[in-house]
Structure 1
Amino acid sequence: MDFFNSALGKNISFVRPEYFIISGFNGIPYIHYYYVFLFCVYIVAVLGNTAVMAIIYLDHNLRTPKYVVVFNLAFVDLFGSSALVPKILDIFLFNHQYIPYSDCLAFLFFCFTSLSMQVLNLVALSYDRLIAITFPLHYQVKVTHRFMLSLIACFWVFVIIAVLISVGLLTRLSFCKSVVINSYFCDHGQIYRLACNDYTPSRVIGVLLVVVILWFPLTFILFTYLCIGYALSKVATVQERVKAFKTCTAHLSLVAIYFIPLLITFTFMGKLHPNARIINLSLTSVFPPMLNPIIYVLQTQEIKESVKKELKRKIPKFR
């Protein structure tokens, strides 16, 4: 506690603002069209992820360890989209840019929790593909329902604790200067940089979370695909390699749509206009939840077969 309290400094009185002002999309030309686009993306994300969850729940053949993770990913996408997009539209479309202090921290918690869980779900899916291709005979033993449920539960506990710590550190900051957040939501980095006392603990936890929840998972995923590529190079025929690789296409697509925009944005951050950076980051937040269910329905044979079976059963044939 002394460490946290010392962050306030000796000569600074503690000031907790009544509200923050979210100003991220101000000054961007034709931004109202973007709000319409966000609304359409949100509707597709809600319908798509709800459909994927329903398909997995209704089809007993899909209740495998892999689809435990897919179900959780759909839930996280639905949860994250519902936490982010309606609030963005409320803030900017209806000019409710004054957001109470406690509401802003809650907004931050839900957004960061969902974004972090999206990444960790990709880690779980990459592990599933690694074992399925490199150790196919041991897959049923190594990847079980109990293991996957335990792994997902550990991810949830870790993320919730980590984000709660970062939010808790923000409550130790004093805001005696600006309360304007130049982002499209209550961004952790933008908030602690507004503090007029020492925000080193918040900055350190922010860097640690980026490393642990972004760069470590990306490194692990790249490593698993190096191992998968090596294993496939040992397969006798080209047809067998293609067949095995097809089981990875959905997961690789999810990894690409999540990480590539982030890598591009952070690589060229110094050259991007602030408005372009905000638009790019907001698209990175809302696009994956919309595309994930579409990718899994179109690229996963088991889900396509399940959809066809349900349609044949539900829709009567007209003669």
Structure 2
Amino acid sequence: MHQGNQTMISEFLLLGLSNKAEQQNLLFVLFLGMYLITVIGNGLIILAISLDSYLHTPMYLFLVNLSFADISSISTSVPKMLMNIYTKSQSISYESCIMQMYFSIVFVVIDNFILGIMAYDRFVAICHPLNYTTIMQPRLCILLTVIPWVLSNAVALTHTLLLLRLRFCDSNTISHFFCDLASLLKLSCADTMINELVLFIVGLSVITFPFALILFSYICIVRAVLIISSTKGKWKAFSTCASHLIVVLLFYGTIVGVYFFPSSIHPDDRDKIGAVLFTVVTPMMNPFIYSLRNKDIKGALRKFSKRKFPAFDALGI
């Protein structure tokens, strides 16, 4: 255990993505743009599904949760980073840092579980189409919506309570753009063995179970699709899963690259890039990859715009 000044610190310093002054304006504009795109894109998805009764189905219920989680995920880190760049201040209070860490865990875990549930929904729709409405009843859908929120908060609360028992002594400098759990553990001058063990076990479980569900679902989907005789039918079935698969690869690929390889292979800069990918880029891309390519959602947005902005209809938009 590292020995040093045992005075508890009251704030941390977030070094951000770059310490070069000439890059700060570029980072501010870039991340502000990505944040606005994410909020607007996912907000439109939530709006379209909420206002169109035709879209009140299990698949779109899960999409609403995914979009809300994406907005919340990027909102836990990017606004504070933008504020620090704008004010030229790197500080974040101890309490705010802990809260930022808590909610960043919550929304990453929720994304993980929702992707697994969406895979199960596609499995039922393709492999058991005649029984889809019987299986995906409202009670089950509500349960599948509530469970990720309960589990994600339980995971975040576990890590937070374990972190609160630690002492931070000599250094309060976080080489990151937000309060990441792994970065905080590196700063502690107390014994973090229990924290690291729980992080590994819980993290592995949180990744493994949804991924196993996704893998099982797609094995069954592939087997079901291969039985379809017509090429058009096979393509139509696969096309309903293509966007989800892209999101899954983007989400799991970045998490595995950041957290499940030795740190010697991944220096701090690569950790930051990985974190940007799954906390900023993935939430921004999801509306384009998954939702905005959906003709039902585009149709709902078009009807909404014509109803609220009649001038668009007159212009043929």
Aligned to 2:280: 286
Aligned to 1:21: 13
Aligned to 1:309: 303
Task: Give the conservation status (yes or no) of the 8 Å contact 2:44–2:301.
Answer: no
Task: Give the conservation status (yes or no) of the 8 Å contact 2:16–2:81.
Answer: no
Secondary structure in 2 matching 1:20:
strand
Identify which of 44, 63, 71 aligns with 1:70. Answer: 63
Structure 2 Cα separation of the partners of residues 211 and 89 of structure 1: 32
Structure 1 Cα separation of the partners of residues 266 and 94 of structure 2: 30
Task: Give the conservation status (yes or no) of the 8 Å contact 1:80–1:114.
Answer: yes
Deviation (angstroms), 1:318? 5.3
Cα offsets for 1:224-266 (capped at 9, x unmatched): 2122111111122211111111111221122123223334445
2:293 matched to 1:296? Answer: no
Task: Give the conservation status (yes or no) of the 8 Å contact 1:188–1:206.
Answer: no
Distance change >3 Å, CA 92–CA 313, structure 1 → 2: closer
Task: Give the conservation status (yes or no) of the 8 Å contact 1:23–1:184.
Answer: yes
TM-score by length of structure 1 reads 0.89
Structure 2 Cα separation of the partners of residues 172 and 210 of structure 1: 20
Counterpart AA for 1:49: N
Distance change >3 Å, CA 242–CA 15, structure 1 → 2: same
Aligned to 2:183: 190
Structure 2 counterparts to residues 1-319 of structure 1, below 5 A = 15-27=7-19, 30-265=23-258, 270-314=264-308, 315=310, 316-317=313-314
RMSD: 2.5
What number of residue pairs does the alignment pair up?
311
Deviation (angstroms), 1:14? 6.6
| Larger deviation, residues 34-43 vs 247-256 | 247-256
Structure 1 Cα separation of the partners of residues 315 and 41 of structure 2: 27
Distance change >3 Å, CA 273–CA 194, structure 1 → 2: closer
Structure 1 Cα separation of the partners of residues 118 and 48 of structure 2: 18
Secondary structure in 1 matching 2:77:
helix
Task: Give the conservation status (yes or no) of the 8 Å contact 2:34–2:284.
Answer: yes
Structure 2 Cα separation of the partners of residues 268 and 48 of structure 1: 35
Secondary structure in 2 matching 1:30:
helix
Distance change >3 Å, CA 30–CA 270, structure 1 → 2: same
TM-score by length of structure 2 reads 0.89
Secondary structure in 1 matching 2:187:
coil
Deviation (angstroms), 1:13? 9.6
Secondary structure in 2 matching 1:21:
strand
**Where do 5+ consecutive residues of structure 2 fail to align?**
none
Task: Give the conservation status (yes or no) of the 8 Å contact 1:68–1:145.
Answer: no
Counterpart AA for 1:279: I
Structure 1 Cα separation of the partners of residues 12 and 145 of structure 2: 34
Structure 1 Cα separation of the partners of residues 6 and 131 of structure 2: 58
Task: Give the conservation status (yes or no) of the 8 Å contact 1:79–1:114.
Answer: yes
Counterpart AA for 1:270: S
Q: Percent identity?
A: 29
Cα offsets for 1:70-104 (capped at 9, x unmatched): 11111111112222210111234423322111111
Counterpart AA for 1:62: L
Deviation (angstroms), 1:283? 2.9
Structure 1 Cα separation of the partners of residues 27 and 88 of structure 2: 15
